[in-house]
Amino acid sequence: MSAKLFLSESIIPQPDFEATQEENGQWKANQSFLVKKGDFDNLATRLFFSRGKTPTDLDPNNDAYFNFLKLKTTTVGTEVGGYTIIRVEFQGYSYPIGDPPENEKSYMTTSYRGSLKTVPITEHPKFVATSDSEKYMLGLLMSGEFTLNDDGYSLGRWIHYESDITTEEPIMKLVTLENIDNPGSPYTLVSSDSRDLAALIAKGVRDYEVGTYEYVVRWSSDEPLQATDIDKLGLVAEPLGNPVKPSNGTREWKLATLNQEQEGTDEPTYTIELVYQLSDKDGWDVTLYT
């Protein structure tokens, strides 16, 4: 750059304008400018770098195509040779040519996560399918008040029966739990599933792991979330992109989280993220989540 330019111009654009389109469609750009030391004290110089300025407002040599970008931030530093360097950052969004695929947003990205979570064994489908009397027995077994008899299908409780005559140590006796609806006969675990569960509970098992699924949708836009978007939070909602579901049951997605990040204050750009959770095989409760 010649000395003449430095002497004749108070604000010198540098040939380093650079624009980048990010994954979700948002654009960011930056450029630097030189001013003589002390010129930033001038109000007119500071106003030249006001927020909302376009790339050609600051440097007519820039391509007018990028005027959808607006100045977002300004950084001031010192340059060797007695000059102040002004670095500006632009942001903006430009819609692509053509429409996105059906049920998708432009430049939409997704992520699909599966993980395990621990839930009480009482929520296991085999537990839920047992009879009321079997649930009652399994609940007593989990409480620790009763133990599984050697026969594997009835419960008993250890009681202080009598004391040893010689040592006076207590003698314990296992008393079987009797059916109040059928005196003289014990409650019994009839189904094989209830007996298998009882054996596990007797060993100390109280919970198990189930698969959970989460689907995340992310895109950028010059339009923020609307009331119709946030009204869906906590309700059954079909996600953008038609994500795959496990083959068992009639599972449903529920909008569990939404997030919106704003870039810039003058014609801002928004990056939006929606997170959906998948129900178990029977779907979400229609009374609560629709």
How many whole angstroms separate alpha carbon 195 and alpha carbon 213?
31
Confidence at residue 3, expressed as pLDDT on a 0 to 100 scale: 38
How high is the pLDDT of residue 8? 41
Q: What is the pTM of this model?
A: 0.76
pLDDT (tens place) for every residue of the chain, 290 residues total: 433 333 346 899 999 999 999 999 999 999 999 999 888 889 999 999 999 999 999 999 999 999 999 999 999 998 888 889 999 999 999 999 888 888 899 999 999 999 999 999 999 999 999 999 999 989 999 998 888 888 888 888 877 666 666 766 766 566 777 777 777 778 889 999 999 999 999 999 999 999 899 999 999 999 999 999 899 999 999 999 989 998 888 899 999 999 999 999 989 999 999 999 999 888 999 899 98
Q: What is the pLDDT of residue 80?
A: 80
Q: Which residue has the tokens 């990040």?
A: 261
Chain-centre distance of CA 2, in angstroms? 54
Instruction: State the first-to-last Cα distance of the chain, in angstroms, to the nearest integer.
Output: 66
CB 274 within 8 A of CB 217: yes
Predicted local confidence at residue 248, as pLDDT: 82
At 249 the pLDDT is: 80
pLDDT of residue 266: 87
Per-position b or e across 85-109, b if 16+ CB within 10 A of its CB = bbbbbbbbbeeeeeeeeeeebbbbe
Angle between helices 192-202 and 132-143 (to 10 degrees): 10
